[in-house]
Structure formats: C-alpha cells, structure tokens
Amino acid sequence: MGAKTLYDKLWDAHVVETDENGAALLYIDRQLVHEVTSPQAFEGLRLAGRRPWRTDSHLAVPDHNVPTRDLHEGITDPVSRIQVETLDQHCSDFGITLFRMADPRQGIVHVIGAEQGFTLPGATLVCGDSHTSTHGAFGALAFGIGTSEVEHVLATQTLIQRKSKTLLISVDGEVGPGITAKDIVLAIIGEIGTAGGTGSVIEFAGEAIRALSMEGRMTVCNMAIEAGARAGLIGVDEKTIAYLRGRPYAPSGELFERAADQWRTLVSDPGAHFDRVVRIDAACILPQVTWGTSPEMVAPVGARVPNPADQSDPVKAEGMRRALEYMGLEPGTAITEIRPDKIFIGSCTNSRIEDLRAAAAVVKGRKVAAGIQLALVVPGSGLVKAQAEAEGLDRIFVEAGFEWREPGCSMCLAMNADRLEPGERCASTSNRNFEGRQGQGGRTHLVSPAMAAAAAVTGHFIDVRQL
C-alpha cells in the first residue's frame, strides 16, 4: 500500500462492505443526539417496530431549546418544552444515555462530546447537526447528517456513503500575537469560499494548526462546514492524547495506553496524495470580522466594507449588494466604525474554557460600553461554567456588565429566548451570519471571543491587539 491520508485510514477502517454501485456501508462508532433533529428519527423506529442496533454508542443532550436563565422555571415556551420532553421520553423508551437539562454535564452537544471523552481518535462520529465537524479535531471522522440518517444509524449502526475528495489546508508558519483559531478559520473561509470545501474532507495541517490547543483545533474544525466541507480533520499528536486522558468515556488504564499507541498512527503519511492543497501564510492572518451574510464575506478588522461594484462576477456582486442592504452597511465604511448593539460570547464554535479565558482577559478591569444593550456569555457546558467560576471568570464578566448565563446553543441560532430584534447588530463568536440566523432581521458579525470582548468594552469593532 502507498502512503495514506488520515482520511484514507479512517475510511478504510470503517468500511463494512461495498455494494454493486460502489457505495460503502460505513460503520458508525458514535452518535450524539439532540432534541431538534431526533424526534422524527425515534418516531420512525417506533412506527417500524425497530430497536437501536446498539444503545451504548449514543449520547443524548438537549441544547438548542434550553433557556440560559431561570432554569428553575423550566422551559416556558410550550413548543420548545415538548421537544425537550420528547427527547427525554425517547431516550427512556429506547435505552439511550441522556444528560438532562439539570445535569451538571449538560451542554452544547459538540462541547460535551469531547469533554466527556465520548469523541475518540479513530472513531466515526455523527450527529444530526452540521457542526459535528468539530470532533475532527481529534482525528475522528465526524460529520453532520439529516434526521433520516440519524434513524439509519440508530437502527443499523451504519450509513451508506461515498468517499469524499481530500483537501489539505496547510497554515504554514506562526500566527502573530493575539491571533486566534477563529481568525485562522475565518481567514481560510475568506480565501476558499463557503463552497470551497464542497464534496471534500479538509485536513488542517501546518505549524499554526499544530500550535493550537485542542480547544482551538475544535474551533477550526467546527467551521469546516462553513467552507462547505463534509468534515474537518486534524492529525493526532500528544496534545490530543493528553486531552483525553482521564475523561469519563475514554478508555482507562492499560487500555488507554494501548489505544493511545494506535491513535498516534492517525496522521497522514508523508507523501500521501491530496486532491487539492491550499497553503496559507499564518503570518498574514489578521483579526477577522464578517461584514455580510455568509461567512466568506469577511475582512481583517483594519479593512473597509467592500464595494459590490468592484466584483466582476454578477451573481456574487448581487449577493454582496443584498448582504450590505440587509446588514445596513455602506461600501467603504471602516470595519472599526461599525457599532454592535449586542455581544454574544458562546456557541459550539467558541464557548470552551479557553474562549472564556481569552474574552475575560480583554474584559478584566473594563466596562461594557454605554452603547451596548446586552452582552451575554453563555458557557458551552455545565462543566465549562463550573471551571470558569472556579477561576473567577464569571466575576470579571459580571463586574464589567456582562450577563453570565447557563449553558446551551442560545443566541447562535435563537431557538430559545435569546435573540436579536429586527435591525439589531451583534458581535458574535458563533459560526453563521446568515440572514435571520440570530433572530429575524438581526445582523451578525462573526468574530473571535477576544474581538467580541474588545467590541463590548469599546462599543465598536477594534483590533484587540491595540487595547
């Protein structure tokens, strides 16, 4: 056999068999389940009289609908409440492990998977959620699926798949001081576009990726889907292994060491062939702010809002015009002149302990600016929240004028009460700036936690390195 990519290795290890059309039956080791994309799947099982193939390979948690304050009141929206109660009922009926709303381990599905060691290198992991790509940071083949496929995995532990193309994105050299994983991934999407990864699995490599913590790597892989990729991957190294040691769902003792030896082989071989290679010079990456309604509409904080008239592709130019109209922005406006109304620090992209530390470091000793109506910090899980509180981060945020909330997806997609009103502008550490994503008519600017914190304390976007 010739040199293999990490993706080749993961793929080959999971093919049960290949059918006459050349499609593979791929074995799925792990499935994360949440309340929004699972009810119809469980109902499908029930109607067909089927049981889960394995119950020990699934972990369920409500996250999208959960309120982030006054938890003792439960969920006041009756429709949201029914959805969460339906998850409880289905998990109970089918024998699936569930972290309920009151459980200290509850949180955003893509935060708790890694935190619990449920995500393991060399595994295939799926979830009815596009940001499942997050887990690729551990050298796991992880991707989002629809509800029919959730049901298929429950019933058969497999999916029918075709192998994707491979795209290597190498971020070479070191990033400058103050440049974070979020800036790296936004710069990548700005470079290759939101369809740049379509049909591909992206492997992120290079010194700048190796230098990231596991939290940072999760941020990068999380947004692989915003580049259109099927999955994002990062090869295993000692950071991966150190992160997993002692986690509840990871193996322990001698078995952990045996597993770790196998995990160390989960890197692309030297000379392995990729269908496409993109190289990015890490030193050129600056703090990023999105100005439009697609993550590819992004610019360095020192830049100006671009002019659609300068775009030669008519479909793209029209998209830009529509985006600027929706965003209430004029071409040529300095990004630093844009003033958010709200600040959201959270989501499966940026709600881990390191994200909260980075934001708190900027906020410490400062106050939320007068023009900011609401500044929210929503930790990714109950355990992240407890850790942050043990470090005193909650007090830093609260003293500055932020609200310190309970874990959940919150204002990333506004399925709970946390949302933007029409026309409101938000500096958000989430992953999508689509029209209406954070509330109908809401205007989203995607940034890193440090940049969101900087906007909170100054009232406008600013290069956090200047503070």
Partner 1 sequence: MEPFKNFTGLLAPLDRANVDTDAIIPKQFLKSIARTGFGPYLFDELRYLDHGEPGMDCSHRPLNPEFVLNDPRYQNADILLARENFGCGSSREHAPWALADYGFRVILAPSFADIFFNNCFKNGLLPIVLAADVIDDLFGQAYGPEALRLRVDLPAQQLTLVSRGERIAFEVDPGHKDRLLKGLDDIGVTLSRADAIRAYEARRGVEAPWLFFSAS
- DSSP code per residue over 226-246: GGTBSEEE----HHHHHHHTT
Q: How many residues bind partner 1 (CB under 8 A)?
A: 86
Interface positions, 407-426, toward partner 1 (CB under 8 A): 413-415
Quick note: the x/- pattern for partner 1 over 198-227, rule CB under 8 A, is xx----------------------------
Q: How far is the CB of 169 from partner 1 (least distance, A)?
A: 17
Choose the binding region for partner 1 from 73-81, 204-212, 370-378, 396-404 (rule: CB under 8 A). Answer: 73-81
Say how far apart CA 385 and CA 375 lie, in whole Å. Answer: 17
Quick note: the x/- pattern for partner 1 over 341-380, rule CB under 8 A, is ----------------------------------------
Q: How far is the CB of 112 from partner 1 (least distance, A)?
A: 12
Tokens 């790296």 belong to 184
Q: Is 439 left (phi over 0), alpha (psi -120 to 50) or beta?
A: left
With CA atoms as reference, report the closest residue to 345 among 115, 178, 182, 227: 182
Say how far apart CA 105 and CA 89 lie, in whole Å. Answer: 19
* Of the candidate residues 1, 309, 315, 370, the single one contacting partner 1 (CB under 8 A): 315
Q: How far is the CB of 36 from partner 1 (least distance, A)?
A: 5
Burial (CB count <10 Å: 0-12, 13-18, 19+), residue 451: buried
Kindly state whether residue 83 participates in binding partner 1, applying the rule CB under 8 A: yes
Contact status, residue 299 vs residue 335, Cβ threshold 8 Å? yes
- Give the nearer residue to partner 1 in terms of CB position, either 276 or 364: 276
Kindly state whether residue 326 participates in binding partner 1, applying the rule CB under 8 A: no
Kindly state whether residue 230 participates in binding partner 1, applying the rule CB under 8 A: yes
Say how far apart CA 289 and CA 296 lie, in whole Å. Answer: 10
Binding positions for [4Fe-4S] cluster are 348, 409, 412
Distance of CA 175 to the CA centre of its chain: 21
Contact status, residue 274 vs residue 204, Cβ threshold 8 Å? no
Kindly state whether residue 406 participates in binding partner 1, applying the rule CB under 8 A: no
Interface positions, 44-63, toward partner 1 (CB under 8 A): 48, 50, 53, 56-57
Choose the binding region for partner 1 from 82-90, 234-242, 392-400, 456-464 (rule: CB under 8 A). Answer: 82-90
Strands (E) in 197-268, as ranges, are: 200-205, 231-233
Say how far apart CA 348 and CA 67 lie, in whole Å. Answer: 16
Kindly state whether residue 445 participates in binding partner 1, applying the rule CB under 8 A: no
Q: How far is the CB of 199 from partner 1 (least distance, A)?
A: 6
Kindly state whether residue 387 participates in binding partner 1, applying the rule CB under 8 A: no
Interface positions, 251-280, toward partner 1 (CB under 8 A): 251-252, 255-256, 258-259, 262
Cβ-Cβ contacts under 8 Å for 247 (sequence gap 6 or more): 115, 116, 117
Q: How far is the CB of 296 from partner 1 (least distance, A)?
A: 8
* Of the candidate residues 69, 71, 103, 147, the single one contacting partner 1 (CB under 8 A): 147
